[in-house]
Each structure stands twice: as C-alpha cells, then as structure tokens.
A and B are shown apart, each in its own frame.
Chain A
Amino acid sequence: MTKPHVLLLGDVLHARAEWEALSDVATLSVCDSSTKEEFIKDLAGKYSDVAAVYHCHMDDAKPGANINQELLEALPPSLKFICHHGAGYDMIDVNACTRKGILVSNTPGAVDDATADVNMFLVLGALREFNLAMTNLRKGNWNAGVPLSHDPEGKVLGILGMGGIGRALKRRAQGFGMITQYHNRKPLSEEMAAGAKYVSFDELLATSDVISMNLPLNAHTRHIINKEAIAKMKDGVIIVNTARGPVIDEQALVDALESGKVRCAGLDVFEAEPKIHPGLLANEKVILLPHVGTATYETRKKMEITVINNIRSAITGAKLLNVVPEQIHFAP
C-alpha cells in the first residue's frame, strides 16, 4: 500500500532526524516550486496526492507562505491536514480551511518559555530605558545624558490575552516584584490565573503601568491598541508587544511616544515587518528586536518536533495533536 504523501513548505533545520524518521509512515517531499504560479501547477501535478503539509512561517513572497482562499482552492482534495510551525497562524485562513474540510494545527506550549523570555527582557528594557544607556555607551558617552528611570518592583503588569505565553510571562514578572492583572475574553480558572486579577479591557488600560500584548491576531484584535485605547491608559505607560505587530496601530504608538503619553516601548513585532515605522527607528529610548521570539536552538527544535508529531498523528491516526482553537469542535 502506498504511503501517504507529506509535503514540507519551508525548511526543517534542527529536528532533521525526526523529520527523516517520518519516512517509515509517509513519503516525504520538500516543496521546490520557485514561484506561486509554479506551486499552483505542482499542486495539480506532483503534489496532487499530498495528504498533509508541514507549513513554516516564511517570507510573504515564498510559495505557500500565505494560505488564503485563493491557494486553498488550488489544494488537492487529498489534503486534509496543515501542520503549522508557530504559535501564531494568522497567515492561514482557518475559516476557509474548515469549509474545505482541512484541519490546522499550531505549536502552542513549545513557544511559551522563549517568547516570555523575550517579553520579560523587553519589559525590563522599556521600564529601565536601557536602550538609550546602551547606545550612549557605544557612542563613547558613558552615561552622560542618560536619565534615571523606574523599577519594576510594585508596578502593575497588565497582560492582554493571558494564554500560555502570558502565564509564562507572569511567572517571570513575579520574580521582579510586579503585580499581574489580565484581560481575556473570559476569565481563567483560579488555577490557571495563579493569582492574577481578572479585569475588563478598559480597566486593564486605565490601571496598568506596563501593558503586554499576548493575544493572537485576528479580525477582532487588529489595531485593538489604537488612539482611543492609548488615551485611556495611564500617563507614562509602558507598552510591550511580542504577539503580532498589527494588534497595535503603529502610527498611534509613535504619536503617543512623541507626546510622552507612552514613556517607552519594547517591541519584537511590527505592523508591516520587516519594515518598521521610521518614528520608532528614530526613537533611541524604545527597545526593538527583529521578531526573535523563539530564535533558539532548543526552542526551534522543540517546535519542529511538535509539528512532526502532529504530522505523524495525522498520517497514522487521522487526527492532530494541537488543533487550532477555532476548529476544536470539528476535530475527531
């Protein structure tokens, strides 16, 4: 009996042995289509019997990077599973997948620690305004012109979207004496909240000293932090984003930094990355990282293994281990 066909869209860098081991249950192909048009042709040709896809977070220009309605219409009927490498999967039109009977998995859990580490680094870097100090030193000015800043101890950290990453952030923030509150669509159980106070969105905005974005990007959350939201925040608030750039209206953030409403920001993601608003680049106080949330050997390997395990489960058990929340009701 022919083994099911699995297609890799992207690259497996760290868990190569685990990927190769899948060949005991599947035929493995690595997508070599050079353009989007060629990819569509290949989907009707050599990839027309693919059952499951290992999908990487790639540059928008790459074939298969964005799994939108147009691409979905070209996918072969045999394709039932898309296993995504990443916690965020906003580049996949999940509703369209559901309509076509395709289930999607992501990699929650595996990303939590590394992303929370970046998150806490940015919370500290923004509260303490370290970027200006570092830049000053490298220019040969030591600490001349570097103002005093503020301690995290006793400050209120407001987590918008306390899921796995948000909870990992809370654990870290506790060690620095911060008090955590959060807003989710619904309150968590006491066990999951682990002492964090549940508040409304408006209360989170009005009473937090530091606001951390830890929510997924979708139609409801795009620009959830906009001019109106910022106006409700405390004067001198700190904003940190390790989720997705478009949850913040970047122009509104630049304006608020200019007015001093937002004292400082720490960002790992940007609205139109890799392009960054020039107003942010010109600001020496803000601390900026180029989406390095999970960029470690250990975490990338864990993530790759999570995807490979989902593929294996799809092939051998016709189900996924980490179905995305939107599809939980449709999964067997």
Chain B
Amino acid sequence: MTKPHVLLLGEIVHAKAEWEALSEVATLSVCDSSTKEEFIRDLAGKYSDVMAVYHCHMKDAKPGAIINKELIDALPPSLKFICHNGAGYDMVDVNACAKKGIIVSNTPGTVSDATADVGMFLILGALREFYPAMTSLRKGKWNMGAPISRDPEGKVLGILGMGGIGSAIKRRAEGFDMITQYHNPEPLSDELAAGAKYVSFDELLATSDVISLNLPLNAQTRHIINKDAFAKMKDGVVIVNTARGAIIDEQALVDALESRKVRCAGLDVFEAEPQIHPGLVANEKVILLPHVGTRTYETQKKMEIQVINNVRSAVTEAKLLNVVPEHISLVH
C-alpha cells in the first residue's frame, strides 16, 4: 500500500533525524516550487496526492507562505491536514480551511517559555528604561543618558490574552513582585488563573501599570490597542508586545509615546515588520527586538518536533494533536 504523501513547505533545521524518521510512515517531499504560479501548477501535478503539509512561518514572498482562500482553492482534495510551525497562525485562513475540510494544527506550549522570556526582558527593559542607559554607555557617555526609572515591585501587570504565554509571563513576573491581572474573552478556571485577577478590558486598560499583549491576531483583535484604548490607560503606562504587531495601531503608539501618555514600550513585533515606524526607531527610550520570540536552538527544535508529531498523528491516525481552537468543534 502506498504511503501517504507529506509535503514540507519551508525547512527543517534542527529535528532532521525526527523528520527523516517519518519516512517509515510517509513519503516525504520538500517543496521546490520557485514561484507561487509554479506552486499552484505543482499542486495539480507532483503534489496532487499530498495528504498533510508541514507549514513553516516564511517570508510573505515564498510559495505557500500565506495560506489564503486563493491557495486553498488550488489545494488537492487529498489534502486534509496543515501542521503549522508556530503558535500564531494568522497567515493561515482557518475559516477557508474548515470550509474545505482541512484541519490545522499549531505549536502551543513549546513557544511559551522562550516567548515569555522575551516578554519579561522587555517588561524590565521598558520599566527600567535600560535602552537609553545602554546607548549612553556605548556612546562613551557612561550614565549621563541613563534616567532614574521605576521598579517592577508592587506594580500591576495587565495581561491581555492570558493563554500559555501569558501564564508563563505571570509566573516570571511574580519573582519580581508584580501583581497580575488579565482579560480574556472569558475568565479562566481558578487553577489556570493561578491567582491572577480577571478584569474587563476597560478595567485592564485603566488600572494596569504595565500592559502586556499576549493575544492572537485576528479580525477582532487587529488594532485593539488604538487611540481610544490609549486614552483609557494610566498616565505613564508601559506597553509590551510579543504577540503580533498589528494588534497595536503603531501610529497611535508613536503619538502616545510622544505625548508621554506611554512612558516607555518594549516590542518584539511590529505592524509591518520587518519595516518599523520611524517614530519608534528614532525613540531612544523604547526597547526593540526583531521578532526573536522563539529563536533559540532548544525551542526551535522542540517546535519542529511538535509539528512532526502532529504530522505523524495525521498520517497514522487521521487526527492532529494540537488542533487550532477554531477547528476544535470540527473534530471528535
């Protein structure tokens, strides 16, 4: 009996042995289509019997980077599973996938620690205004440019979207004596909340000293932090974003930094990355990282293995291990 066909869109860098081991249950192909047009043709040709796809977070220009309706229409009927490498999957149109009977998985959990480490680094860096201190030193001015700043101890950390990453940030913030509150579409169980107070969106904005964005990007959350939201925040609030850039209206953030409504910000993601609003690059207080959330050997390997495990489960048992929330109702 022919083994099912699995297609890799992107690259396996760390878990090569685990990927190769899939060949015991599947035929493995690595997508070599050079353009989007060629890819569409190959989907009707050499990839027309593909059952499961290992999908990487790639540059927009690459074939298969964005799984939108147009591409989904061109996918072969044999394709039932898309296993995404990443916690955020906003580049995959999950509604269109559902309509075509394609189930999608992502990599929750494995990303939590590394992303929360970046989140906590940015919270400290923004509260303590470490960036101008570092640049003052590098320019030969020692601490002339280093402001007296604020301690995290006793400050209220408001987590918008407390899932795996948000909970991991809360655990870290506790070591710095921060008090955590959160807003989710619905409150968590006592166990998952682990002592964090549930508040409404408006209360989170009005009462937090630091606001950390840890929610997924979708139609409801795009620009959820906009000019109106900033107006509801405390004067001198600190904003940190390790989720997706487009959750914040970047122009509104630049304006709020200029007016000092926002005292400082720590950002790992940007609305139109890799382009960054010049108002942010010119700001010497803010602490900025180039989307390094999960960029460690250990975490990248863990994520690759998680995708491979989802592919194996798809091929051997026709089900995924980490179905995205939007598809949970479609599977049994």
Binding site for B on A (CB under 8 A): 113-114, 117-118, 120-121, 124-125, 128, 130-131, 133-134, 136-138, 140, 142-143, 146, 148-153, 171-177, 273-274, 276, 281, 287-292, 295-300
Q: List the B side residues contacting A281 at CB < 8 Å.
A: 138
Please determine whether A175 and B153 come into contact, CB atoms closer than 8 angstroms: no
Q: List the B side residues contacting A292 at CB < 8 Å.
A: 128, 130, 133, 143, 146
Q: Does B276 contact A (CB under 8 A)?
A: yes
Please determine whether A134 and B287 come into contact, CB atoms closer than 8 angstroms: yes
- 13 further A-B contacts with Cβ under 8 Å, apart from A134-B134, A172-B175, are A120-B175, A121-B124, A128-B292, A128-B296, A140-B281, A142-B273, A172-B172, A175-B174, A175-B175, A289-B133, A291-B143, A295-B146, A297-B150
- What is the bound-complex CA distance between A143 and B274, given in angstroms? 9
From B33-41, B111-119, B185-193, the one touching the partner chain is B111-119
Please determine whether B137 and A276 come into contact, CB atoms closer than 8 angstroms: yes
Q: List the B side residues contacting A124 at CB < 8 Å.
A: 117, 120-121
- What is the bound-complex CA distance between A230 and B36, given in angstroms? 53
A154 to B, closest residue via Cβ: B298
- What is the bound-complex CA distance between A97 and B131, given in angstroms? 40
Say how far A127's CB is from chain B's closest CB, in angstroms. Answer: 8
Asked, given contacts A121-B124, A143-B291, whether A150 binds B151 with beta carbons under 8 Å apart, the answer is no
Asked, given contacts A117-B151, A172-B176, A292-B133, whether A133 binds B296 with beta carbons under 8 Å apart, the answer is no
Q: List the A side residues contacting B133 at CB < 8 Å.
A: 289-290, 292, 295
- What is the bound-complex CA distance between A173 and B290, given in angstroms? 24
Please determine whether B113 and A130 come into contact, CB atoms closer than 8 angstroms: no
Please determine whether B299 and A151 come into contact, CB atoms closer than 8 angstroms: yes
Asked, given contacts A121-B125, A133-B289, A296-B128, whether A287 binds B117 with beta carbons under 8 Å apart, the answer is no
Say how far A57's CB is from chain B's closest CB, in angstroms. Answer: 12
Please determine whether A150 and B153 come into contact, CB atoms closer than 8 angstroms: no
Q: List the B side residues contacting A153 at CB < 8 Å.
A: 113, 298
Please determine whether A150 and B298 come into contact, CB atoms closer than 8 angstroms: yes
Please determine whether B153 and A148 come into contact, CB atoms closer than 8 angstroms: no
Please determine whether A300 and B175 come into contact, CB atoms closer than 8 angstroms: no
B142 to A, closest residue via Cβ: A274
Asked, given contacts A113-B153, A148-B295, whether A142 binds B137 with beta carbons under 8 Å apart, the answer is no
